[in-house]
Amino acid sequence: MNTNKIVANGIENVFKQHKSSIVIGLTGRTGSGCTTAAKILSIRDFEKLNLPSLRVPPTNHEDRKDRIIYAWIKEHWTPFKYLSVTTLILSIAISHGIDKLEELIKSIDQNFETNELKKNI
């Protein structure tokens, strides 16, 4: 079974098990804030989110909407799981065995020391 099929089957199984799950993919150029946003969304404790203060008392319709949203999020906050593409790619590469990973790295960089890879895994 090829890697794409394995990944597709894995994703399908996740969705079957967690029909109420939300998957968010953040993409952007280096420095665009995707990693920062992902890490914020994975904070477990709502109080540690450091959200901006609400205006007291609310002075307009937007302030009232902000209060409603804040109250709902505070009540229902569930952190996201953070998964980087690097971790996913490395996991797939390792699942094919250390020798295949070594072979792949050597095909990219002939100067790579394979004994260093085996020593660190």
User: DSSP string covering 2-17, please?
Assistant: -HHHHHHHHHHHHHHH
Global pTM reads: 0.56
Instruction: Name the nearest CA neighbour of 115 among 95, 98, 90, 92.
Output: 98
| Nearest residue to 93 (alpha-carbon basis) of 25, 85, 28 | 85
pLDDT of residue 117: 64
Query: What stretches in the chain show pLDDT beneath 50?
Result: none
Residue whose entry in the numeric block shows the structure tokens 């009540």 = 75
Distance of alpha carbon 104 from alpha carbon 92, whole angstroms: 12
What would the pLDDT profile of 92-119 be if each residue is shown by its tens digit? 888 888 788 888 888 888 887 766 666 6
Residue keyed to tokens 């609310």? 58
Tell me if 106 sits within 8 A of 114, measured CB to CB: yes
